Amino acid sequence: MVLYLICFTWFTYTGMRCSLKMFSLWKFVALSAQLCAGAIFERVTDLPTMDFDFIIVGGGTAGNVVANRLSENPKHSILVLEAGASHKGIEDIQIPFYCSRLTPYTEWDWNYTTTPQVALNGRTFPFQRGYVLGGSSSVNTMAYTRGSSEDYDRYAKVTLDQGWSWKNIQIYIRKFERWTQPADGHNTTGQFDPSAHGYDGATAVSLPGYPLDTDHRVLEATSQLGGEFSYNQDLNSGSPLGVGWCPSTINKGERDSSATSYLTPEVLKRRNLQVVVNTQVTRILQSGTANCRRAFRTVEFTASHGDAQGKKTLTAKKEVILAAGSVGSPFILLHSGIGDSRDLSRVGIKPIVYLPSVGRNLSDHMVAPNLWTVNTTDTLETWVRDPVFAANALETWRTTRTGPFVDIPITQVGFVRVKDDGVVFKKYGDPSAGPNSPHVELVINNGIAGKTIPPAGNFFIIGAIIVTPSARKTPLIFNEHFIHNNISGGSLVLHSNDPFEHPIINPAYAGSDLDMYILREGIRSAQRLAEAPAIRNYVGPALFSPTTDAELDEFIRSNGTNLHHPVGTAGMSAKDANYGVVDPDLRVKGVAGLRIIDSSVFPFIPSGHTMAATYILGERGADLVKMAW
């Protein structure tokens, strides 16, 4: 308003009456008012400036963290380029229970597909990645588990940088996490450890806010069975083994993504931060040299997906920060001529920087679902099938942000280690980060709540997830066993030199004997949990009852599916290591002016849902950039 009055007074005083000048002045005032109010721009051409210190490629889970933290310094100017649309006003994104509607193969998904997976009977799978502001934090299941303390200590060991250790990332956990009351406001005493959480951070984390009939049964089972299924008061304490409540990034009944928590209206009011959606970066271009290295500070982008004729460029004065995710970041590097020279030449791209680890080391979680029938309709299937129930629940959510739709379909999970049979681990080694880290996550669901559900029947599900996949070819290894046994690895390579053609994604699910062993034992753990009297009295016959190794292997090959937690395609390694893509400060090796801050840099997949670890990464990555400048 002050700016408007100054401009209006100046206009009146000078007596100008030229309509063209009047139009230009009012356009300037309107644009200034827009910037003061905070904005997400649809086109780069709408920006008030093309001069930026930092250009962040990708407004996803980590990218928005970095944008927020760097823009805290008014001396730095920041641009975020997001390929997808804005998240604002999309109710399906807001409603936690509707998370399964968002992917795969929707307008909010990149709609990638894997190659046929050899170990899973040649089946292909959707490879879901968020194509919207907030990235995958806007479309995922919101489950919040950090992994074990040993996961982070292993990152520190591999990178030779203690800044990544569990002890030293605690400051970043507190910085991004805001522990919040569940939607129903119930007493959560005994359901979490208050000392393990942050209360003043940006992103809300809360426990389930609507009770399910299976809650008490699962908790009763922990006391009945004990041992591997003992109750764990807080799965995020760094010691996740056992069964406990599953928190999620939900704030007062609504999804809290990096877009809603880090790009708040107050943050978007900062004059030094601009966010542009519907803008896809195709390459990072060399923009000179620095310290005898090629500098990559120029981004090539197009205003709309597939518009190859409309490419433009912008150059950052300080750094380009890739935050396009485990598919997007290596994809852009490869199209920029940074990667394995042979792979680049094969698709007609001129190799510029030899960095053969780009796109290698792809790791992802996969799950073997175990289903039991139940003799009740009080399951999630009814919430989807019954139009009256669904309409009432939706109205309750819209008016009060309470009721069944305030939660994700998961309320409890368990983390277990499999037994050492004296053969497999002797041959391959233990793939976990340490003796207090799990091999398997057990995800417990009172029914099926996906986009498509069976036309009849009600079910109880315990999914067995391998959280320590061993498929990898690079020297980012567990121990010497992986060198000698040549375990095939996951990878991402280009299909062609067309930046709008999806890459070839091969996660190598169940790609080793070790993976198959862990999955078999994970299913047996799920079966043992279902034998607890509290659960056995609830469930009927299992839909599948594999018992022998051969039956279990065939069950996995026919029914196993993926979890969409990819990491590793731009892995961290020590500064002087001859493998990896980024150093411990997240700088791309061998070049200047370019960093990667997203889940692609994790050299090992954490033994939990990757979102929490990616927020931590975003906070520490932002600090590393700040320290450099």
Q: Could you tell me which residues are annotated as the binding site for FAD?
A: 132, 281
For residue 515, give the nearest of 365, 315, 347, 302 by alpha carbon. 365
At a CB cut-off of 8 Å and minimum separation 6, what does 224 contact? 532, 533, 534
406 is written with which tokens? 């305030």
Feature table: binding site: 132, 281
How many Cα atoms are found within 13 Å in the side-chain-facing hemisphere of 196?
A: 21
User: Could you give the CA distance from residue 471 to residue 209 in angstroms, rounded to a whole number?
Assistant: 37
Query: What string of DSSP letters covers 347-362?
Result: TT----EE-TTTTEEE
Catalytic residue, candidates 76, 365, 439, 609: 609
User: Catalytic residue at 564?
Assistant: no
User: Could you give the CA distance from residue 467 to residue 386 in angstroms, rounded to a whole number?
Assistant: 35
Please name the amino acid found at residue 167: K
Block residue for tokens 């093309």 = 50
Q: Which residues pair with 109 in a beta bridge?
A: 130
Catalytic residue, candidates 87, 481, 564, 565: 565
User: Could you give the CA distance from residue 573 to residue 627 in angstroms, rounded to a whole number?
Assistant: 20
For residue 145, give the nearest of 435, 407, 415, 362 by alpha carbon. 415
User: Catalytic residue at 439?
Assistant: no
First to last CA, the chain: 34
For residue 568, give the nearest of 613, 518, 520 by alpha carbon. 613
Between strands 177-179 and 561-562, the pairing is unpaired
> Coil, strand, or helix at residue 455?
coil
5 is written with which tokens? 């009055």
What residues are labeled active site? 565, 609
